[in-house]
Structure 1
Amino acid sequence: MKLRVFVLAVASIAFLPLHARAQGAAAAVAHLVAPLPLAAPMKQALQAEMVRTLGGDGLSWNGRAATYTVMGCEDTEMSARLVDLNGDAVPEVHVEAQGTCVGGMAGGFNWVFIRSAAGAWRMNLNFNGGLYPLPSHSQGFTDVLAGGPGFCHGVWRWTGQEYALLCVAGEGGQRCDRPCPRTLKTDDFGEQLPPFTAARSGAEE
């Protein structure tokens, strides 16, 4: 009997920090996505997926300082915005954290959440550096280049279910492992991911 009580007490103590972290992540995600013009059911599903994934990164919101904590980095500025990677007028969500603490020399970290045809959100791309659209596409989705320090940058392409590494682009003639074909114009990238325009879609329905 004493052993059982001890085990239950230990289990309760172990659970409390996880519960607290989940609550902290939920509050942070709610604040992060509040400005996004999404219908309530879509936003609720997005929040659930963001809490599930970003909660593992220790996401929380400091209302007094108006900053976030993520990946152990306090006083981090974060933002979320709607993008449209495949021109179908259904938004994807790009979340960005700024600072060398989260992104190292790249200066930032990115997450991209993509909604499936069945309506389920899933985090796909997540790495430090900038995300830059290329003029090429696969199955309607824009190829993206992950820019950051150094001279070799990954190019990610949609496979039909997710973004996967296609090749590694060399900057300034740099030879990289898994080089990109010359026909892929990796030097011709845009500054920002294609924006989503709610006015031309039915995404809020």
Structure 2
Amino acid sequence: MKVVVTIISLVLCQAALAGTSALPPADEAAAFKAAGFKQHGKQWKSCKDSSASYVPGAIDQVQDINGDGRPEAVITEGSSACFGDTGVGYTLVSKQADGSWEVMSRGVGILIVQKTKGKDGWPDLEIGGPGFCFPVERWNGSEYKVIGKQYEGKPCKR
């Protein structure tokens, strides 16, 4: 398990160091705040971890995943103290028509946007992590709910 956590932390660290998000600074700050992060110097944090392995919040992906013409952002943060053996947490936020940002999904794991879709064009989400059978969430019009589990695109049971 420690190898998986180390690899995930390394990936998150590389993503955080790779550069800035594709969002303008005001939207970036609003997205982090909507996700429950607070700015500490140049870092965004939601987890109270000060260990050397902690990886601060980073905007991992920005794209319009539901086809409404407005961006969604996946915010990640790394910490085994806050996220257990998985070592990473995610928050999916969406820019609304009024310019505000709203949390669509959050949890422990690595969010992988799927091609299959739920209500209003929202894609299903696979939540990866250690192991071989991962939950898949679908938007029902008001929230993402687990609809099953899959591994490499095929249904599975834990």
TM-score normalised per structure 1: 0.52
**Of 101, 110, 135, which residue of structure 2 is paired with 1:121?**
101
Larger radius of gyration: 1
Structure 1 stretches lacking a partner, 5+ long: 1-33, 177-205
SS in 1 for 2:55: strand
Q: Post-superposition shift, 1:136?
A: 1.0
Name the one with the larger strand percent. 2
Aligned to 1:5: none
Note the 1:13-162 alignment, pairs <5 A: 35-38=21-24, 43=27, 47=30, 50-51=32-33, 53-55=35-37, 59-63=38-42, 67-74=43-50, 75-80=54-59, 81-138=61-118, 139-162=120-143
Number of matched pairs: 133
Question: In structure 2, how many angstroms separate the alpha carbons of the residues matched to 1:135 and 1:102?
Answer: 30
Q: Is the 8 A contact 1:70 1:76 kept in 2?
A: no
Q: Per-residue displacement from partner, 1:30-53 (whole Å, max 9, x unpaired)?
A: xxxx8543495xx28x62x64365
Q: CA deviation at 1:154?
A: 1.4
**Unmatched 5+ residue regions in structure 2?**
1-19
Structure number with higher helix proportion: 1
Counterpart position of 2:13: none
State the TM-score, normalizing by the size of structure 2.
0.65
What is the CA–CA distance in structure 1 between the aligned matches of 2:63 and 2:21, rounded to whole Å? Answer: 14
Q: What's the Cα RMSD here?
A: 3.1
